[in-house]
Protein backbone atom coordinates (compact mmCIF):
# COMPACT_ATOMS: atom_id res chain seq x y z
CA UNK A 1 0.00 0.00 0.00
CA UNK A 2 1.32 3.45 -0.91
CA UNK A 3 0.37 6.73 0.77
CA UNK A 4 -1.04 9.12 -1.83
CA UNK A 5 -2.09 12.04 0.38
CA UNK A 6 -2.25 13.41 3.89
CA UNK A 7 -5.57 14.80 5.16
CA UNK A 8 -5.76 17.51 7.83
CA UNK A 9 -9.44 17.77 8.76
CA UNK A 10 -11.07 20.32 11.07
CA UNK A 11 -13.77 18.68 13.17
CA UNK A 12 -16.63 19.89 15.37
CA UNK A 13 -17.19 18.24 18.77
CA UNK A 14 -18.35 14.61 18.66
CA UNK A 15 -22.03 13.77 19.07
CA UNK A 16 -22.68 10.52 20.95
CA UNK A 17 -25.38 8.50 19.18
CA UNK A 18 -25.57 5.53 21.54
CA UNK A 19 -24.61 1.90 22.04
CA UNK A 20 -24.02 -0.44 19.09
CA UNK A 21 -22.58 -3.99 19.08
CA UNK A 22 -19.07 -2.57 18.49
CA UNK A 23 -19.27 -0.17 21.46
CA UNK A 24 -20.41 3.46 21.59
CA UNK A 25 -21.22 5.16 18.28
CA UNK A 26 -20.10 8.78 17.91
CA UNK A 27 -20.51 11.06 14.91
CA UNK A 28 -17.84 13.72 14.39
CA UNK A 29 -18.83 16.46 11.91
CA UNK A 30 -16.07 17.43 9.48
CA UNK A 31 -16.15 21.22 9.07
CA UNK A 32 -13.23 21.81 6.70
CA UNK A 33 -9.53 21.21 6.21
CA UNK A 34 -7.09 20.40 3.46
CA UNK A 35 -5.34 17.47 1.81
CA UNK A 36 -2.11 17.20 -0.13
CA UNK A 37 0.08 14.60 -1.75
CA UNK A 38 2.75 14.31 -4.39
CA UNK A 39 0.29 14.68 -7.27
CA UNK A 40 -2.79 16.27 -5.70
CA UNK A 41 -3.91 18.87 -3.18
CA UNK A 42 -7.16 20.51 -2.27
CA UNK A 43 -9.71 21.57 0.32
CA UNK A 44 -11.87 19.34 2.52
CA UNK A 45 -15.49 20.52 2.30
CA UNK A 46 -17.78 20.83 5.33
CA UNK A 47 -20.36 18.34 4.05
CA UNK A 48 -19.51 15.12 5.87
CA UNK A 49 -18.86 13.37 9.14
CA UNK A 50 -16.79 10.53 10.57
CA UNK A 51 -18.71 7.71 12.26
CA UNK A 52 -16.68 5.99 14.98
CA UNK A 53 -17.52 2.98 17.11
CA UNK A 54 -15.35 2.67 20.21
CA UNK A 55 -15.19 0.33 23.19
CA UNK A 56 -13.46 2.91 25.41
CA UNK A 57 -12.70 6.62 25.36
CA UNK A 58 -9.56 7.50 23.38
CA UNK A 59 -9.83 4.38 21.18
CA UNK A 60 -11.80 3.76 18.02
CA UNK A 61 -12.39 1.34 15.18
CA UNK A 62 -11.84 2.95 11.81
CA UNK A 63 -12.20 1.30 8.39
CA UNK A 64 -11.70 3.14 5.10
CA UNK A 65 -12.74 1.62 1.78
CA UNK A 66 -12.09 2.64 -1.82
CA UNK A 67 -14.88 3.12 -4.33
CA UNK A 68 -14.29 -0.42 -5.64
CA UNK A 69 -14.89 -1.87 -2.15
CA UNK A 70 -11.26 -2.72 -1.35
CA UNK A 71 -10.14 -1.89 2.17
CA UNK A 72 -7.65 0.99 2.18
CA UNK A 73 -7.00 1.35 5.89
CA UNK A 74 -7.97 -0.33 9.14
CA UNK A 75 -7.02 0.80 12.61
CA UNK A 76 -8.21 0.05 16.12
Q: Specify the pLDDT at position 64.
A: 61
What's the domain count of the chain? 1
Three-state DSSP class for residue 23 = strand
CATH of the domain at 24: 2.40.160.20
Decide if pLDDT at 9 tops 80: yes
Beta bridge mates, 75: 62
64 within some domain: yes
Q: Specify burial of residue 31 (Cβ count, 10 A radius: 0-12, 13-18, 19+).
A: middle
18 within some domain: yes
68 within some domain: yes
pTM over 0.85: no
Note down the domain range covering 25.
6-75
Beta carbons of 60 and 73 less than 8 angstroms apart: no
Instruction: Indicate the pLDDT class of residue 17, thresholds 50, 70 and 90.
Output: very high
1 within some domain: no
45 within some domain: yes
22 within some domain: yes
Nearest residue to 56 via CA among 28, 27, 26, 29: 26
Q: What value does the mean pLDDT take over residues 25-49?
A: 89
Amino acid sequence: MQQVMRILAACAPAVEVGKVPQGILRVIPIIGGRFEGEKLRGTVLNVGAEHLASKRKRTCLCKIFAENGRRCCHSN
